[in-house]
């Protein structure tokens, strides 16, 4: 099984442009998460979804939006990218019963110029 | 505020034992989790503790003291493939993980 996939692998984006990072899991996990990882900092939660149809804000939600139309997909959208959004973005999923045991996608490396 | 502290970098020798410490302060506590992350890759789950004491899992063990807000990850019989960053994360009252910045472990032959 694929587990959890992300696309694209990497992207260079001009400031002010919009972009959607895709995330798909085939483990039928209820919970999904978007994190960003920056050098010297821990993973920071952007948005999460405990189940299809619901989403919540994490620690650093500003400038990002998400949707959860079904169990498998959890796209992250940057409406108008800024250079401070340059980061590595990880999508993760977990079962509801074991929320701390998260399975991560391979990540998207985003550079905003 | 919420805070997770762990050393930035550690060096150890192949075949030896290393202990990576983590102290945490989160609003609420629902478990302490350890993940491994090789350079350029995604984090992968290693172990977790909810109750005080030692959890052993092969060459890796993790310890928790809730009264001290302290955990450690113990790696035995170190192998070169253990060179990676080790991430400590505490689950808060909202069942969200609060992550440390990670400890980069360098293994020397």
Whole-number Å distance between alpha carbons of B50 and B11: 28
Q: Give the count of Cβ contacts less than 8 A between chain A and B.
A: 48
Model pLDDT, residue A1: 60
Model pLDDT, residue A48: 97
Mutation target to probe the A interface, by most A beta carbons within 10 A, among B7, B39, B42 is: B42
How many residues are listed for chain A in this entry?
113
Are B75 and B10 in contact by the 8 Å Cβ rule? The answer is: no
Model pLDDT, residue A2: 72
Tell whether B29 lies on the interface with A, counting CB pairs under 8 A: no
Mutation target to probe the A interface, by most A beta carbons within 10 A, among B2, B35, B43 is: B43
Give pLDDT tens digits for A51-91.
999 999 999 999 999 999 999 999 999 999 999 999 999 99
Which residues in chain A are contacts of B97 at CB distance < 8 A? 43, 45, 99-100, 102
Reading chain B (109 residues) residue by residue, the pLDDT tens digits are: 789 999 999 999 999 999 999 999 988 999 999 999 999 999 999 999 999 999 999 999 999 999 999 999 999 999 999 999 999 999 999 999 999 999 999 999 9
Q: Are strands B103-108 and B9-13 parallel, antiparallel or unpaired?
A: parallel
Which residues in chain A are contacts of B101 at CB distance < 8 A? 40-42
């Amino acid at each position: 099984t694929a587990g959890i996939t992300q696309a694209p692998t990497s992207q260079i984006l001009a400031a002010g442009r919009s972009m959607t990072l895709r995330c798909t899991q085939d483990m039928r996990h209820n919970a999904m998460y978007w994190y960003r990882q920056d050098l010297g900092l821990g993973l920071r939660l952007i948005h999460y979804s405990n189940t299809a149809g619901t989403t919540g804000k994490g620690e650093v939600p500003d400038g990002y939006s998400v949707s959860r139309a079904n169990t498998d997909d959890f796209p992250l959208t940057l409406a108008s990218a800024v250079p401070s959004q340059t980061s590595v973005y990880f999508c993760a999923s977990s079962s509801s019963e074991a929320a701390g045991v998260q399975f991560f996608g391979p990540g998207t490396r985003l550079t905003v110029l | 505020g919420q805070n997770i502290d762990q050393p930035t970098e550690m060096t150890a020798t192949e075949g030896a034992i290393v202990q990576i410490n983590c102290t945490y302060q989160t609003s609420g506590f629902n478990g302490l989790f350890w993940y491994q992350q090789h350079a350029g890759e995604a984090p992968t789950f290693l172990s977790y503790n909810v109750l005080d004491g030692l959890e052993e899992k092969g060459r890796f063990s993790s310890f928790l003291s809730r009264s001290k807000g302290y955990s450690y990850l113990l790696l035995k019989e170190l192998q070169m493939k253990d060179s990676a960053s080790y991430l400590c994360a505490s689950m808060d009252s909202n069942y969200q993980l609060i992550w440390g910045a990670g400890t980069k472990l360098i293994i020397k032959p």
